[in-house]
Amino acid sequence: MPEEDLEKQIKSLAQKMESVEASLDKVAQPYSQLLDYIERFQKISGSYFRMLGLYQRYGAISPDLLIPGVKDSISRDIVKVLFERDGQNISQITDKLKAMRGTASRRIVRERLKLLEEKGVIKGKGTSRSKDYWLTPEYVDKWYDLLGLSPGKKNGPVVGDGR
């Protein structure tokens, strides 16, 4: 008889333990979500401080920071135009540059596009008569890495879908 009582007590304790475990799981769930939010916040704030450091160091935060070999401002402005919207042709890029700079020549824009294409910053798609230009995925990835916002992470936007 005492063995039966002991078995009942053990079963009762086992049920109570399961109940306690279930209650702890319910209570712990919001805390695990909170930890995820804190981790995400740390990544975002780290990226923010990294951008502030870039701004302090260079006076601006611009994609042209990644192409120090390109000295002329027209090429840098072309990169900025394509970063705003990928997949533009020479006419669209020239019009955008005219709006930014006050003047732009299709001939010069075509020359700079060729230079940027040779440096691997952009790539052209289409025929010689109708060609659209895109930032290369490597260049966009370098930009996000510089900012600490890799495209594979959830906190970074994806640019240039049409690549």
pLDDT of residue 60: 73
pLDDT of residue 140: 85
pLDDT of residue 155: 42
What is the CATH code of the structural domain delimited by 63-147?
1.10.10.10
Tokens 């909170």, residue located: 34
DSSP structure class, residue 131: E
Tokens 């994806």, residue located: 158
Kindly report, residue by residue over 20-69, the tens digit of the pLDDT: 999 988 888 888 888 888 998 988 888 888 888 878 887 777 776 777 66
Higher pLDDT, 152 or 32: 32
Q: What angle do helix axes 73-84 and 90-101 make, rounded to 10 degrees?
A: 110
Kindly report, residue by residue over 107-140, the tens digit of the pLDDT: 999 999 999 999 888 999 988 788 999 999 888 8
DSSP structure class, residue 129: S
pLDDT of residue 151: 54
Instruction: Tell me the domain boundaries of the chain.
Output: 1-61, 63-147
- What's the whole-model pTM score? 0.59
Burial of 141 (0-12, 13-18, 19+ CB in 10 A): middle
Query: From the CB of residue 100, how many other CB atoms can be counted at a distance below 10 Å?
Result: 13
